[in-house]
């Protein structure tokens, strides 16, 4: 008898994978998480850009307009004749009873018209003003472009004629304000005339075309104010030196930035107030 053995392999059922556990919700902290701001729509971005553009345009327009205009005081053009025979034109801001008078000197190549804002600022504060076209300038005789240093230094005669005119019209307390080379001329004249109460120098120099201030600064004994803008390199360095050399016990140096040179600095209207206050304190 033959036996047949059949081996049968029992197929095991496949193991079932355990189902994935659901993540437990995160526990909330004390404060809910901050939501991210919604992205700006193209329309909102365009509106924001437009507002910024308009603001920039307005700022540029205001800069182009320049400083606020100063109400101009009536003036009359007068004739002066110097001791050395030069015919000088000047603008006289009068119409008041005051002993305070101010002589105004422009920058080289400029005229008395550049001093009208300063005069119109000082006049209501009680100062008669006499703005010069110095020899060689504006409507006065000669031409500054052909001047030697000797010719420029002779401008002292113009200042003397201006002071005599103010004295004849009741102004016994005289001050001088000059810009650039006019600042040098103002200081140099004041050293020779003890009746000058004070000097204001706008952007002076140690040496402008032979009109020097290094010695006169040491000789000056009365109060004087120096105003300069820092980026105006030569004038700024000169102002520091003049202040250091000053023989006066009452010298003040005001340094600004971005205002330019000489009468250009009047675009900052605060300077006009500074000058008025200086005169008020020193012309009593």
Q: Which two tokens stand for residue 213?
A: 């201030």
Per domain, the residue ranges of the chain are 76-282
pLDDT at 154 (0 to 100): 98
Global confidence as pTM: 0.78
Q: Which two tokens stand for residue 47?
A: 């509106």
pLDDT at 174 (0 to 100): 98
pLDDT at 6 (0 to 100): 34
What region, left, alpha or beta, does residue 52 occupy, with left being phi > 0 and alpha being psi -120 to 50 degrees?
alpha
At 260, phi and psi to the nearest 5? 90, -150
Measured in residues, the chain has a length of: 284
Angstrom distance (rounded) from CA 120 to CA 239: 27
CATH of domain 76-282: 3.40.50.1820
Three-state SS for 63?
helix
DSSP code of residue 39:
P
Q: Please list the pLDDT of the chain residue by residue as tens digits (284 residues).
A: 333 333 333 344 454 555 555 555 555 555 555 566 555 677 777 777 777 777 666 554 544 567 889 999 999 999 999 999 999 999 999 977 899 999 999 999 999 999 999 999 999 999 999 999 999 999 999 999 999 999 999 999 999 999 999 999 999 999 999 999 999 999 999 999 999 999 999 999 999 999 999 999 999 999 999 999 999 999 999 999 999 999 999 999 999 999 999 999 999 999 999 999 999 999 99
Three-state SS for 156?
helix
pLDDT at 41 (0 to 100): 72
pLDDT at 119 (0 to 100): 98
User: What residues contact 22, with CB distance under 8 A and at least 6 apart?
Assistant: none
Angstrom distance (rounded) from CA 93 to CA 204: 25
pLDDT at 67 (0 to 100): 83
DSSP code of residue 126:
T
Measured distance between the N- and C-terminal CA atoms of the chain, rounded to whole angstroms: 154
What region, left, alpha or beta, does residue 99 occupy, with left being phi > 0 and alpha being psi -120 to 50 degrees?
alpha
Cα–Cα distances in angstroms (integers) from residue 128 to residues 104, 114, 179, in the given order: 11, 17, 19
């Amino acid at each position: 008898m033959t036996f047949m053995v059949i081996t049968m392999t029992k197929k095991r059922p496949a193991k079932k994978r355990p189902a994935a556990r659901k993540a437990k919700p995160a526990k909330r902290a004390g404060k809910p998480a901050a939501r991210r701001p919604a992205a700006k729509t193209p329309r909102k971005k365009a509106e924001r850009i437009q507002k910024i553009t308009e603001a920039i345009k307005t700022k540029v327009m205001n800069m182009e307009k320049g400083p606020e205009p100063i109400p101009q005081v009536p003036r009359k053009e007068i004739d002066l004749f110097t001791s050395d025979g030069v015919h000088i034109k000047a603008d006289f801001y009068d119409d008041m009873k005051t002993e305070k008078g101010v002589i105004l000197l422009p920058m080289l190549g400029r005229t008395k018209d550049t001093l009208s804002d300063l005069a119109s600022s000082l006049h209501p504060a009680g100062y008669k003003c006499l703005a010069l076209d110095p020899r060689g300038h504006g409507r006065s005789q000669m031409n500054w472009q052909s001047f030697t240093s000797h010719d420029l230094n002779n401008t002292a005669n113009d200042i003397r004629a201006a002071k005599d005119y103010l004295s004849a019209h009741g102004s016994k307390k005289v001050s001088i304000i000059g810009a650039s080379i006019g600042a040098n001329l103002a200081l140099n004249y004041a050293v020779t005339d003890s009746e000058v109460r004070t000097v204001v120098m706008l952007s002076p120099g140690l040496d402008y075309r032979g009109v020097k201030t290094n010695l006169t600064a040491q000789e000056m004994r009365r109060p004087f104010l120096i105003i300069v803008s820092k980026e105006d390199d030569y004038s700024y360095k000169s102002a520091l030196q003049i202040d250091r050399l000053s023989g006066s016990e009452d010298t003040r140096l005001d340094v600004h930035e971005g205002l330019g040179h000489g009468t250009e600095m009047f675009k900052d209207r605060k300077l006009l107030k500074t000058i008025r206050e200086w005169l008020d304190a020193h012309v009593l």
